[in-house]
Amino acid sequence: MPPINLAIVGVGKIARDQHLPSIAGNPDLLLVAAASRNGAVEGIPNFPTIEAMLDAVPFVDAVSLCMPPQFRYDAAYKAICAGKHVFLEKPPGATLSEVADLEALAIEKGVSLFASWHSRYAAAVEAAKSFLVSTNIQSVHVVWKEDVRHWHPNQDWIWQAGGLGVFDPGINALSIITHILPTSIFLRNATLEFPENKHAPIAADLNFTNSDNISVHAEFDWRQLGEQTWDIIAETSAGKMVLAEGGSKLTINDTVIPVSSETEYAALYRQFASLIKRRESDVDLAPLRHVADSFMLGKRVFVAPFHD
């Protein structure tokens, strides 16, 4: 089969760091165009808008949308209406309803829609899932603490409504636990800390449970200096599981478990190409639903203003 002609939209940090190298390394994909108001990709035609790109390069088969979530729906709508397969960066949109709308539209137009969750493809996630399905889980503790000034310098969108604040990294943890836990969970209570001068939280403390009375406690914090922490710890009848470093390292009762060597974005693009070939979509909204529940149920506490 000839390669899938792919275009990228929103050439910013994640497009440069991860998408471009992963696309270049996948023989099923050929990058043929980019659309970005300020960014550009060398060696291919670049356009200021997705409309201009779709008009000028009609042989584009699929697009990857790498802009912030508040601006993804409009681009996705245009691409799907033009008959293109669509890769949505995480989180797939600013609301649950707009992504459900895109999912229905993709079915109507007969294209593949991929709501990607890169952390689900971290090296040790499948091994953690296999372990948890084989045991009884007593409790889970998620600690996702990082320094926002280091990871998100000058990203205003992240502090605006729909930018999700600390849930931008926190949703990665939620994407992992919703994938590795054998049963679904729901939020019982939550506290969200909002800087006085921002529309999105800087920290969140979440308690989930389910009908089996499992306890899942998640702590997200953007004020972490020094060592950064992206860990999921489960106490189980077979002992203690630590899924550390954002899903890339697994220890069970202090024994390090061998894991996959494929990078997250290489695996995402392998999945996208496979979905297109099979004419299927992959749209799991569970992580975004937990974020929406947190904004709906969470107590709001106002904390010191945040300045970059």
Whether 90 is catalytic: yes
Point out the residue whose Cβ comes nearest to ligand NAP. 12
- Residue with Cβ nearer ligand NAP (8 or 192): 8
Q: Which is nearer to ligand NAP, 11 or 176 (CB)?
A: 11
**In angstroms, what is the minimal distance from the CB of 126 to ligand NAP?**
19
* Complex with ligand NAP: residue 151 or 297, whichever CB lies closer: 151
Task: Give me the least distance between CB of 52 and ligand NAP, in Å please.
Answer: 12
Residue 88: strand pairing partners: 65, 115
Binding site for ligand NAP (CB under 6 A): 10-14, 36-39, 66-69, 71, 89-90, 118, 155, 157, 168
109 membership: H or E segment, kind and range: helix 96-109
Q: In angstroms, rounded to a whole number, what is the distance separating the alpha carbons of residues 98 and 129?
A: 30
In terms of CB distance, is 3 or 45 closer to ligand NAP?
45
Which residue in 78, 84, 90, 145 is the catalytic one? Answer: 90
SS3 264: helix
Query: How long is the chain?
Result: 308
Helices (H) and strands (E) in the chain, counts: 10, 15
Question: How far is the C-alpha of 36 from the C-alpha of 182, rounded, in Å?
Answer: 40
Q: How far is the CB of 167 from ligand NAP (least distance, A)?
A: 10
CA angle, corner 98, sides to 126 and 207, nearest 5? 50
Instruction: List, in order, residues 6 or more apart from 268 with CB less than 8 Å away.
Output: 22, 87, 114, 116, 118, 121
In angstroms, give the least distance from the CB of 250 to ligand NAP. Answer: 21
Catalytically active residues, by annotation: 90
